Amino acid sequence: MSSVPVPPPKCLLKPLVVPFRHMFGPGPSNVPPRILQAGANPVIGHMHPEIFEIMNDIKSGIQYLFQTQNRVTLAVSGTGHTAMECAIFNAVEPGEGVLSAVNGIWGERAADMAERIGARVNTIVAPPGGVLTNEEIERALAKHRPALFFLAHGESSTGVLHSLDGIGQLCHKYNCLFLVDSVASMGGTPLHMDRQGIDILYTGSQKVLNAPPGTAPISFSDRACQKIFNRRTKPVSFFLDLKWLSNYWGCDGKPSRVYHHTGPVTAFYSLRESLAVLAEEGLEKSWERHKEVAEYFHTSLESMGLHLFVKEKVLRVGLMGCNSSKAHVDMVLAAMKDALKHCHENKL
């Protein structure tokens, strides 16, 4: 009689088969062969000097991507949700106020995360597909006096790009940290962390950067670090404690790095390569390419009689990074035209 009563699953005795698909949704995006190949390099130790050098390259790449000189700049081991929690869990203590701009699901989730750690949460809500004015934001800041204000730059659930100009200055006027989610926008449209007064900024690896999901670039201003590193209480998460993370990433100026967690080394390879691809193209060229392709897509949609935000029927289309080309727009348009022909609600 076998000593292992549970037999090996038959499904695992078959070869792994993964189909190729055009990834034109809100993310993840297709990963170019060069970045896939980088992730296939040999695994080395997460505390080896070679991996620290790769992590240093990643930090420099994120500083370029974010247009910041912040010393505490790193990549969280996890997706954009992990970076969102890293920002909120470190910057906010129980009982402190958080103001979240809700113009889609990401403002709702930021509010949810803040409530879970005992923050006093208020929201300022934009209409569906709409944005908030700086005057509305200032009134809410003056009324609620939060320690942190959250705003999604690219709200992927509605397709809205929210202006950031002047908001950082308003937050600082009311002694508030400005937290920005740029998961859906980073690399595809202009954003200047230092110039726009953003205190905490994060993004994900799987959209414009075209790396596999699983790493999340994040950066903290000196103002944010001053508050975070002088907390009265420890952050609720050990895994996301910025004191530990900043040491592991060599951001704290200490002579040695201490083990905190086993970093996803192959994901670091991929992220490093994706940042290298962006650096070679140049941020300004990437911004311009995404703008040109988006305008081409929008014009083509309108010529089909479609609107960019429809309450009854919404399709989320993502053309990011290597997928941002007119050829891929034409592919999406052809598929949409075919689908609309067979849609019983179609009025075209």
Predicted local confidence at residue 137, as pLDDT: 98
**Whether pLDDT at 253 is above 60:** yes
Residues 6+ apart with CB under 8 A from 322: 29, 30, 32, 210
Per-residue pLDDT reduced to its tens digit, 112-145 = 999 999 999 999 999 878 899 999 999 999 999 9
pLDDT per residue as tens digits for the range 17-40 = 999 999 888 889 999 999 999 999
Check the CA dihedral 63-246-223-201 and report its sign. Answer: positive
Paired residues of 97 in beta bridges: 120
Residue 237: count other Cβ atoms within 10 Å of its Cβ: 15
The phi-psi region of residue 104 (left if phi > 0; otherwise alpha if psi is between -120 and 50; otherwise beta) is left
pLDDT in tens, 178-206: 999 999 999 999 999 999 999 999 999 99
Q: Is 332's pLDDT higher than 50?
A: yes
The predicted structure's pLDDT at residue 20:
94
Cα-Cα-Cα-Cα torsion 107, 110, 112, 118, nearest 10 degrees, comes to -140
- Euclidean distance between CA atoms 23 and 29, whole angstroms: 5
| Per-residue pLDDT reduced to its tens digit, 216-241 | 999 999 999 999 999 999 999 999 99
- Phi/psi region, residue 129 (left: phi>0; alpha: psi -120 to 50; beta: rest), is left
What is the predicted pLDDT for the residue at 314?
64
User: What is the pTM assigned to this prediction?
Assistant: 0.93
Question: What is the mean pLDDT of the segment spanning 321-334?
Answer: 90
pLDDT the model gives residue 239: 98
Give the chain's radius of gyration (CA, Å).
Answer: 22
Using DSSP, state whether 82 is helix, strand or coil. Answer: helix
Q: Please state, for a pLDDT cut of 70, what percent of the chain lies above it.
A: 97
Question: What pLDDT shows up at residue 348?
Answer: 46
The pair of three-digit structure tokens given for residue 49, joined into one six-digit string? 């000097």
What pLDDT, on a 0 to 100 scale, did the predictor assign at position 310?
55
Q: Are 102 and 80 in contact (CB under 8 A)?
A: no
Question: Has residue 52 got a pLDDT over 50?
Answer: yes
